[in-house]
């Protein structure tokens, strides 16, 4: 079972001097855990399942919406999943703004805007969009028109390129493929309510696919990203990053997809689907099933879904489901239910 790793005290990470990343660990995991509740402190690796540890069997519901209209898809997904606990919370949204390229390279503004509306209608106290893009984040946000959208809709922006060193939290758990551990923004680790909104696409630089789990790379300091992409353990490292935080909701835009190439350009095909859930492993497994249904590259088509290294490692450390029969697909209309049945058949192949 995946756990939050505690709630350290200190700055929210909403402001700070510009920084390309932490110059030194602001807090290692042992320090982080000293202030946690006694029940969590019983285990030195709370939240990090190990290969020899039996993890409880779990199940996950994933929503499937068939649509070519992103705003419609988000609205229907939110109604179908009926997420609880939003009212009165400070909500943080993590989009896919790796670059300013059009969807499916990055989160479409229609998807983001409708998600903000849905959260506001559910009485979120505050909403902030936080990101660190591959080019300078300010430039990406400006090119996409996000500052104007934020002003019009009343949400905040957090640029993780500019937060103070003290607003990064260092994790150094045993048994991962991160020799020096990794950092994540306090703003995310301590989020009252976190929403991930990702795209559905392949990744030609070693990730194989980039969906909800790969979104975590945009939460790391930029200097560690190139070494990670050059590592033969990249896909395992992606999964392990996700142990440091936990979204309460995931909305994946598959209206358009990259079935080859990616993340910023590739062979595009219409997916006409919006996927929603709370379990990153289940959501990504369903996303890979969509790619298989559309016809994708050899890395996708030539390997069972639950043999993909991101998914294998995520299941090993207890982030989510570990087998296809633990995923229940639901929809809100006959077309969606028929497509869910198709995807369930693809998932069942492993």
Residue 57's pLDDT band, with cuts at 50, 70 and 90, is low
Q: Does a structural domain hold residue 197? A: yes
Q: Give the residue from 114, 68, 74, 61 showing the smallest Cα distance to 273.
A: 68
Could you give the CA distance from residue 162 to residue 189 in angstroms, rounded to a whole number? Answer: 17
Q: Does a structural domain hold residue 271? A: yes
Q: Could you tell me the residue range of the domain that residue 166 belongs to?
A: 61-348
Q: Does a structural domain hold residue 1? A: no
Quote the pTM value.
Answer: 0.84
Q: Does a structural domain hold residue 22? A: no
Q: Does a structural domain hold residue 29? A: no
Q: Reply yes or no: is the peptide bond before residue 263 cis, omega within 30 of 0.
A: yes
| pLDDT(40) > 80 | no
Q: Does a structural domain hold residue 156? A: yes
Q: Are 274 and 250 in contact (CB under 8 A)?
A: no
**DSSP β-bridge partners for residue 127:** 91
Q: Does a structural domain hold residue 20? A: no
| pLDDT(51) > 60 | no
Question: What average pLDDT score do residues 249-270 get?
Answer: 97
| pLDDT(256) > 60 | yes
Structure confidence by residue, pLDDT tens digits, 19-33: 333 433 333 333 333
CATH number at residue 149: 3.40.50.11440
Structure confidence by residue, pLDDT tens digits, 98-130: 999 999 999 999 999 999 999 999 999 999 999
- Give the pairing type, strands 273-277 and 249-261: antiparallel
Q: Does a structural domain hold residue 185? A: yes
- Number of folded domains that form the chain: 1
Predicted confidence at residue 29, as pLDDT, reads 34
């Amino acid at each position: 079972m995946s756990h939050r790793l505690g709630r350290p005290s200190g700055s929210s990470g909403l402001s700070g001097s510009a920084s390309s990343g932490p110059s030194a660990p602001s807090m290692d995991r042992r320090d982080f855990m000293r202030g946690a509740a006694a029940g969590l402190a019983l285990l030195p690796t709370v939240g990090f399942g190990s290969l020899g540890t039996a993890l409880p069997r779990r199940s996950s519901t994933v929503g499937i919406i068939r649509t070519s209209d992103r705003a419609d898809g988000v609205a229907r997904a939110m109604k179908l999943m009926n997420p609880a606990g939003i009212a009165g919370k400070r909500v943080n949204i993590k989009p896919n703004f790796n670059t300013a390229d059009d969807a499916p390279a990055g989160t479409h503004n229609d998807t983001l805007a409708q998600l903000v509306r849905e959260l506001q209608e559910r009485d979120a106290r505050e909403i902030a969009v936080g990101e660190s893009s591959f080019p300078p984040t300010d430039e990406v946000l400006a090119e996409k028109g996000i500052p104007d959208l934020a002003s019009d809709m009343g949400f905040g922006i957090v640029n993780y390129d500019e937060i103070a060193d003290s607003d990064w939290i260092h994790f150094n758990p045993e048994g991962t493929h991160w020799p020096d551990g990794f950092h994540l923004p306090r703003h995310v680790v301590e989020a009252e309510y976190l929403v991930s909104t990702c795209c559905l696409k392949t990744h030609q630089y070693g990730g194989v696919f980039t969906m909800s789990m790969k979104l975590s790379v945009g939460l790391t300091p930029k200097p560690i990203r190139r070494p990670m992409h050059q590592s033969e353990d990249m896909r395992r490292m992606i999964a392990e990053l996700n142990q440091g935080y936990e979204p309460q909701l995931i909305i994946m835009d598959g209206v358009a997809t990259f079935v080859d190439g990616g993340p910023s350009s590739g062979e595009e095909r219409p997916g006409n689907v919006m996927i929603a859930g709370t379990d990153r492993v289940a959501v990504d497994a369903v996303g890979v099933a969509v790619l298989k249904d559309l016809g994708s590259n050899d890395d996708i088509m030539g390997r069972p879904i639950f043999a993909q290294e991101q998914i294998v490692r995520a299941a090993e450390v207890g982030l989510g489901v570990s087998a296809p029969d633990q995923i229940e697909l639901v929809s809100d209309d006959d077309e969606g239910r028929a497509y869910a049945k198709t995807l369930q058949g693809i998932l069942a192949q492993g």
